[in-house]
Amino acid sequence: MGESVRTTDGTGYQYTDNFDVTDEVKEQFDRDGFIILRNFLDTEEVATLRTTLEQDKTLEDNYYTRDDGEGNQSEMATWKHPVDDITGMIGRSDKAAGTVEKILGGEVYQYHAKVVMKEPFTGGAFVWHQDYGDWYHYGNLFPDMATVWIAVDRADRTNGCLQILLGSHQAGRLEQVKVGEQTGADPERVELLAKLCPLTYVQLDPGDALFFHCNLLHRSDQNHSQNRRWAYLVCYNRASNDPVYKHHHPNYTPLIKVQNSRIKECGIKTPTEGKLFFHGPKRERDPAMEVLERKA
Ligand SMILES: O=C(O)CCC(=O)C(=O)O
């Protein structure tokens, strides 16, 4: 008997220009904590995004390493504001920002954007966590936040695709604890929730997008395969949920939305100003510095 694994294969909505957040779409998001839009970026758009990221010197200069504590690492580059390159056009587009606005029920702004790079064989794992686990501590009073996770490369079980506990956002915010070298949701609670909320592997083709609620439990495995797994993520906050603390992620900054056509029109360009990369506490430490700090 084969192992029974639940995946998102064959599920989700095919994105077309006529896509709308109907009552059914909204109900699904509220019930499951996510929706999938297949072909959210068409072949040309995702190819331009991929080439732009590969050529972007600022990513090279600003990425940091996120050690999974089990011998592997993922590289991440995180920035605050959308600018006029394809990453910004996607984040500002009606199909991304406009969809999130309808899902969350009001105006949104970009809370940050990032590229998560899981390289072949070395890409690191992420433990079970909720994004709101951290964002709560950064002064966001309400969980009126969501992320659009866009597959740049195919993401599947072999290269560490995202895993979710379906419907787990309905449990609300869980305690955060140290899990190995990472911070994650209380493993005891996660285990109990996993009995009720089916573990689901989010397998996506390049250009497919997962829109998910900030309290949805998610994780991902190491990449043991020869296939790269890069993803582009845009995180949104409701304008009405302006963080009450100043933190490394932006306070309310009006998002200038653009028509979807701007994604194609902008082509490959890599502006260096305005994004404001965040290097943050998770930046790769220089081992020599750590030795000095321990001695201090
Ligand atoms: O892309 C992944 O595998 C996980 C990324 C993630 O959960 C995060 O950056 O918070």
pLDDT in tens, 147-182: 999 999 999 999 999 999 999 999 999 999 999 889
Q: What is the pLDDT of residue 43?
A: 98
Please say if the pLDDT value at position 290 is more than 50.
no
- The whole-model pTM stands at 0.93
How many Å lie between the centroid of ligand 1 and the Cα of residue 201? 13
> Is residue 4 very low, low, confident or very high in pLDDT (cuts 50, 70, 90)?
confident
Residue range(s) defining the domain that contains residue 242: 13-295
In a domain, 149, yes or no: yes
How many Å lie between the centroid of ligand 1 and the Cα of residue 152? 14
- H/E/C letters for each residue in the chain? CCCCCCECCCCCEECCCCCCCCHHHHHHHHHHCEEEEECCCCHHHHHHHHHHHHHCHHHHHHCEEEECCCCCEEEEEEECCCCCCHHHHHHHEHHHHHHHHHHHCCCEEEEEEEEEEECCCCCCCEEEECHHHHHHHCCCCCCCEEEEEEECCCECHHHCCEEEECCHHHHCCCCEEEECCEEEECHHHHHHHHCCCCEEEECECCCCEEEEECCCCEEECCCCCCCCEEEEEEEEEEHHHCCCCCCCCCCCCCCCCECCHHHHHCCCCCCCCCCCEECCCCCCCCHHHHHHHHHC
Of all residues in the chain, the percent with pLDDT exceeding 90 is: 83
| CATH number for 273 | 2.60.120.620
Please say if the pLDDT value at position 25 is more than 80.
yes
- Specify the residue with its C-alpha closest to ligand 1, atom 1: 116
Average pLDDT, the chain: 92
Mean pLDDT of 240-269: 95
Q: CA 238, CA 114: separation in Å to the nearest integer?
A: 18
Mean pLDDT of 81-98: 97
| pLDDT tens digits along 114-124 | 999 999 999 99
Please say if the pLDDT value at position 284 is more than 50.
no
In a domain, 153, yes or no: yes
In a domain, 7, yes or no: no
| pLDDT tens digits along 26-85 | 999 999 999 999 999 999 999 999 999 999 988 888 888 888 989 999 999 999 999 999
In a domain, 18, yes or no: yes
Ligand 1 pocket test, candidate residues 148, 233, 249, most atoms within 8 A of CB: 233
Please say if the pLDDT value at position 296 is more than 70.
no
CB neighbour list of residue 285: distance below 8 Å, 6 or more residues apart: none
In a domain, 92, yes or no: yes
Q: What is the pLDDT of residue 272?
A: 66
As for how many domains the chain has, the answer is: 1
- Specify the residue with its C-alpha closest to ligand 1, atom 9: 116
Q: What is the pLDDT of residue 2?
A: 53
Please say if the pLDDT value at position 281 is more than 80.
no
CA 295 centroid distance within chain: 37
In a domain, 166, yes or no: yes
* Cross-strand bridge partners of residue 118: 229
Please say if the pLDDT value at position 24 is more than 60.
yes
In a domain, 2, yes or no: no
Mean pLDDT of 79-105: 97
In a domain, 4, yes or no: no
Please say if the pLDDT value at position 292 is more than 70.
no
